[in-house]
Amino acid sequence: MIEVRRRLVPRDRVLVLAPHPDDESVATGGVLQAAVSMGAEVRIVYLTDGENNPWAQRATELRWRISERDRVRWGSRRRREALAALKCLGVAPSSARFLGFADQRVTETLLGGTREAVERLADELSGWQPTVLFLPSLEDRHPDHGATAVLARLAMARARWNARPRVFEYVVHARRAAGSGRCDSVCTLSDSEREAKREAILRHGSQLRLRRGFLLRFAEEPETFVSGLSAPAVHHAAHPLQLVRTRGDQWSFTVRRSRRLTLDRPSLLLISQSDEGMSSLRVPLPRRSGRCALQTPDGGDILGEVEARRDGAWLTVTITSPGLGHSDFRLAKLDLPLRRGIGLFDSWPWLSFGSLHAPAAMVSSELGVASAAEPLVSMAES
């Protein structure tokens, strides 16, 4: 296990990507203190203000109805809490950047305006030029964390680098049904650092009524990370989505059917990236064998074709669309919108496959992805 603080040097420029205010404290409170103590520069980029947090807001403010104005006020409060927490960690308020993406809707931001969101984050990376980057893992069960991990990968491929950063991934919301759970790097906190991290977490008062115990546990344990950009195994036995192959503009998957998937009306979320640009698709999962046109959500333009073939408990789905061709970095996710609609976490993570235009410091074994030139065969067919 590598001690992260031993890999930091005074000339480092450390950047933490935080999906919400409080993630910086629970995931990297020790790392930030270590970086500041040795004179390294730090920056924290918050993707959202955490404004869409209704149950915490109801419990804290003792109100049932929450208007849009209430949510904006709540987001402002969470920004102030984040700045107060950073002060406990020795980080100046000027080190914080807030992008203002919609809380609980980072996945929608990713799918609906992929290029704009990615370019904004790429500009942050290009402008700051971090030498060390901390970001969420694809395996995190919170949809905003998983989507932030995807955005980060796409942005890293678009950013203009002077030197490639060292990357460390963190998990706040532990995996449940899939994921390796591995870590290879750790930041062990001293007593004083642990106490400062605890004080930082307590500054997030809006979150304590419902999650005090959960958050404070992070102050009692070492911070753990995976170095490099990991990828959940595309053939993980617990994951109901399995990749069969990618061939040009055609992607094929098998999906293990279940009562739960039928009730939750799942969709396949697909993202591809290449030098020519990025594209994203939401594909409603067919219920039976057959072919149908893949259309835009408003039923307007035809984007391609979906073919489904049922074989017992498995459904083979083949998506053909020009937007999927000529890509060398691909991601897929089995999305359960009904569960996300009531605030539940993801059951399964994003899957990453294909080659990423990765920083030179990351070798293929750290990326954990397969070559796009090699067809992958699902476990169902092996």
pLDDT in tens, the chain (382 residues): 889 999 999 999 999 999 999 999 999 999 999 999 999 999 999 999 999 999 999 999 999 999 999 999 999 999 999 999 999 999 999 999 999 999 999 988 888 766 789 999 999 999 999 999 999 999 898 999 999 999 999 999 889 999 999 999 999 998 544 445 578 899 999 999 999 999 999 999 999 999 999 999 999 999 999 988 876 555 566 778 888 888 888 899 988 877 666 666 788 899 888 777 778 888 888 878 999 988 776 667 888 899 999 888 888 999 998 878 767 678 888 887 655 555 578 878 888 876 433 333 332 222 222 222 222 222 222 2
Q: Supply the pLDDT for residue 374.
A: 28
Q: Are 244 and 316 spatial neighbours (Cβ–Cβ below 8 Å)?
A: yes
Please give the sequence-ordered ranges of beta strands (E in DSSP) within 66-171, or none if there are none: 96-101, 132-136, 166-170
Bridge pairing between strands 96-101 and 302-311 = unpaired
Q: Are 285 and 266 spatial neighbours (Cβ–Cβ below 8 Å)?
A: yes
Q: Supply the pLDDT for residue 116.
A: 86
Q: Supply the pLDDT for residue 150.
A: 92
Q: Supply the pLDDT for residue 324.
A: 84
Q: Supply the pLDDT for residue 245.
A: 84
Three-class SS of residue 78?
A: helix
Q: Are 268 and 321 spatial neighbours (Cβ–Cβ below 8 Å)?
A: no
Q: Supply the pLDDT for residue 82.
A: 98
Residue positions counted in the chain? 382
Q: Supply the pLDDT for residue 246.
A: 83
Count the neighbouring beta carbons within 10 Å of the beta carbon of residue 274.
Answer: 17
Query: Which amino acid makes up residue 90?
Result: G
Dmax of the chain from CA atoms? 63
Q: Which helix (H) or strand (E) holds 236?
A: none
The span from the CA of 344 to the CA of 252, in Å, is 28
Three-class SS of residue 330?
A: strand
**CA-based nearest residue to 221, from 82, 85, 29:** 29
**CA-based nearest residue to 134, from 157, 165, 168, 164:** 168
Q: Are 219 and 201 spatial neighbours (Cβ–Cβ below 8 Å)?
A: yes
The span from the CA of 233 to the CA of 253, in Å, is 14
The CATH homologous superfamily for domain 2-227 is: LmbE-like (3.40.50.10320)
Structure tokens at 36: 């500041």
- The ranges assigned to domains in the chain are 2-227, 241-381
Name residues whose C-beta falls within 8 Å of residue 105's C-beta, 6 or more positions apart in sequence. Answer: 52, 144
The span from the CA of 290 to the CA of 24, in Å, is 47
The span from the CA of 324 to the CA of 316, in Å, is 18
Q: Which helix (H) or strand (E) holds 158?
A: helix 143-158
The span from the CA of 108 to the CA of 52, in Å, is 14
